[in-house]
């Protein structure tokens, strides 16, 4: 059973939760950029969390399923149409959908957001690297899909409830609002190790000004343009571990937020860190998006993250109860 890539889309990669424990070798985690949307796609098709799924960027691929498949699309609002001799339909997001053998799933542009996740029941198989299927383009691990690629999956058993040929999808769907909220709200930041080294104006500007996401933002990082942030004085730093969400300040004064393909170490001042609870929101911001930042403390950031995790676990448990 194979998923055949007819058109690869702009940037489509296989991702899971990433590879962990290898940063001491300079190998970062990579993994899905919008982790809750990735987990929900898997859960909607009955997969154990963390199985490999497709991360789709801005313009979706066109893929063909050689056999029956149970799929789910989550994340950015992507246009998706299923074509089959027996009938074509627009694929609804945020719910399990049954595709018959030979279906072509034509994914196109996104009305909002940057990244969608396509999960297939049984998971998409990959030999992977270092115990993870996650592609890490920046690290030279794997590559984006190209036309002609084939990924194997287990044939989706046809859940009885989804056999209706006119409506082969679950009668219920998730409310995307908690997981894909794009109404403007500030991204929460915790002051970093070198926040105090910013001059007074920069300390204020970080939390009072608007910044926009620069062109060229990718899975490695997002550069922000806005008021140039300056240090109060020169700072001699050496390379140290960094992590996803670290906000670095290169000498040009435009902060960079590190995302999931970031190098494992960096030598720029760490002026702040994005609260992990808001990293999924950040992963859905396009170039040109205007961001504001709200300051919270580390304890609050941790509390919010744990709360988000619990809500996600509860929702996943509810989905599992409903799956046929």
Partner 1 sequence: MQASAYQFEALSESMLLIRVGSTIDAGCNARVHALTDRIDAAAVPGLIELVPSYASLGVRYDVLYWAGQGHTAFEAIVGVLQLLLQESRFQQDRVALASARQIEIPVCYGGAQGVDLDAVARACDMDAEAVIRCHSEARYSVAMLGFAPGFPYLIGLDPRLHLARRGEPRLQVPAGSVAIGGAQTGIYPRALPGGWHLIGTTPQRLFDPDASKPCLLAPGDQVRFQRISEAQFAAMTMPPR
| Interaction of residue 141 with partner 1, rule CB under 8 A | yes
Note the Cα 283 to chain centre separation in Å. 6
CB-count burial class (<10 Å; 0-12, 13-18, 19+) for 293: buried
CA dist 196 → 188, 203, 234, 258 (Å): 18, 8, 13, 20
With CB under 8 A as the contact rule, the residue among 18, 270, 291, 319 that binds partner 1 is 270
**CA angle (54 as vertex; 78, 278 as ends), nearest 5:** 70
Nearer to partner 1, 160 or 236 (CB): 236
Give residues 276-295 in contact with partner 1 (rule: CB under 8 A). Answer: 276
Nearer to partner 1, 21 or 186 (CB): 21
Size of interface with partner 1, in residues (CB under 8 A):
43
Give residues 100-139 in contact with partner 1 (rule: CB under 8 A). Answer: 129-130, 139
CB of 239 to partner 1, least distance (A): 6
Nearer to partner 1, 64 or 194 (CB): 194
| Interaction of residue 265 with partner 1, rule CB under 8 A | yes
| Interaction of residue 245 with partner 1, rule CB under 8 A | yes
SS3 state of residue 303: helix
Give residues 6-45 in contact with partner 1 (rule: CB under 8 A). Answer: 20-27
Spatial separation of the C-alpha atoms in residues 157 and 299, rounded to whole Å: 45
Spatial separation of the C-alpha atoms in residues 106 and 98, rounded to whole Å: 15
Residue 277 is classified by DSSP as: G
* Residues at the interface with partner 1 (CB under 8 A): 20-27, 129-130, 139-142, 190, 193, 236-246, 263-266, 270, 273, 275-276, 298-299, 301-303, 305-306, 309
């Amino acid at each position: 059973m194979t998923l055949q890539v007819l058109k690869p889309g702009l940037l489509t990669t296989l991702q899971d939760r990433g590879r962990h424990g290898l940063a001491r070798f300079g190998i970062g985690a990579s993994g899905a950029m919008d982790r809750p949307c990735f987990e929900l796609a898997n859960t909607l098709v009955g997969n154990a969390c963390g199985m490999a799924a497709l991360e789709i960027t801005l313009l979706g691929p066109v893929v063909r399923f050689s056999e029956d498949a149970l799929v789910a699309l989550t994340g950015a609002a992507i246009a998706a149409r299923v074509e089959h001799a027996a009938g074509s339909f627009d694929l609804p997001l945020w719910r399990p959908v049954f595709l018959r053998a030979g279906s072509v799933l034509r994914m196109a542009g996104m009305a909002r957001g940057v990244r969608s996740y396509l999960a297939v029941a049984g998971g998409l198989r990959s030999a992977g690297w270092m115990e993870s299927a996650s592609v890490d383009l920046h690290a030279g691990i794997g590559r984006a899909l190209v036309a002609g690629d084939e990924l194997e999956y287990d044939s989706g058993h046809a859940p009885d409830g989804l056999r209706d040929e006119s409506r082969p999808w679950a009668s219920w769907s998730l409310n995307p609002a908690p997981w894909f909220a794009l109404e403007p709200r500030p991204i929460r930041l915790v002051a970093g190790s070198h926040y105090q080294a910013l001059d007074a104006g920069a300390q204020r500007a970080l939390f009072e000004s608007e910044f926009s996401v620069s062109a060229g933002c990718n899975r490695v990082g997002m550069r922000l343009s806005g008021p140039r942030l300056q240090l109060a004085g020169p700072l001699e730093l050496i390379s140290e571990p960094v992590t996803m969400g670290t906000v670095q300040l290169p000498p040009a004064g435009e902060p960079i937020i590190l995302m999931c393909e970031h190098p494992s170490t960096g030598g720029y001042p760490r002026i702040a860190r994005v609260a992990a609870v808001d990293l999924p929101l950040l992963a859905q911001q396009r170039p040109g998006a205007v961001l504001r930042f709200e300051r919270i403390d580390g304890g609050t950031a941790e509390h919010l993250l744990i709360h988000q995790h619990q809500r996600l676990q509860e929702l996943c448990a509810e989905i599992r109860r409903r799956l046929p």
